[in-house]
Amino acid sequence: MSTLFPQDLYDAAKALLAELQRHSLLVVTAESCTGGLVSGLLTEVPGSSGMVERGFVTYSNAAKSDLLGVPPEMIERHGAVSEEVARAMADGALARSPAHIALSVTGIAGPDGGTAAKPVGLVYLGVAARGAPTRVIECRFGDIGRREIRLSSVREGIALMAGAITPGMPHD
């Protein structure tokens, strides 16, 4: 089957969706640097509407605050690309959805926008799951190109959501 995405990503999404379906779980995404690619990948799989509840594309700082409730002061203090904002994005998406698992992605895909402290290729991903503490990971992909940074972020996000599925997690 031909898809918009590399075959390994499609296969990972298909496996994630099968697990979500098996456990009767819904997911929500809150994406910045990936611009909706995680949601796009998930919805590339036929039947995904039963597991993908919604997706927020919050590319601007205002959208992060307006749609996800990320405090503007937090963005000012830590920057949009930070562990704190990734956590707040995931928590905000979960709070604004009936989904069971939320994924957030915020980073610097380049080619511009990087600094010595926050270089191109720096991405934070957060996963919030009902009944569990929110987890954030930092990825430093390096300046491997905008497309590869975004696809690598999607790959990490799919894996992070898969790891958040636990037996007996709340699903009502």
Does residue 152 contact residue 141 with C-beta atoms inside 8 Å? yes
Residue 100 domain-assigned (yes or no): yes
**Reported pTM:** 0.97
Residue 172 domain-assigned (yes or no): no
Q: In which band, very low, low, confident or very high, does the pLDDT at 1 lie, cut at 50, 70 and 90?
A: low
Beta-bridge mates of residue 101: 27, 129
Q: For residue 169, what pLDDT is reported? A: 72
Q: How many domains does the chain contain in total?
A: 1
Q: How many CB atoms lie within 10 A of CB 7?
A: 10
For residue 104, the domain's CATH number is 3.90.950.20
Residue 124 domain-assigned (yes or no): yes
Q: For residue 55, what pLDDT is reported? A: 98
Residue 133 domain-assigned (yes or no): yes
Range of the domain at 30: 7-164
Residue 169 domain-assigned (yes or no): no
Q: For residue 37, what pLDDT is reported? A: 98
Q: In which band, very low, low, confident or very high, does the pLDDT at 166 lie, cut at 50, 70 and 90?
A: confident
The residues, ordered by sequence, that sit 6+ positions from 17 with a Cβ below 8 Å of its Cβ are 42, 45, 47, 48, 51, 52
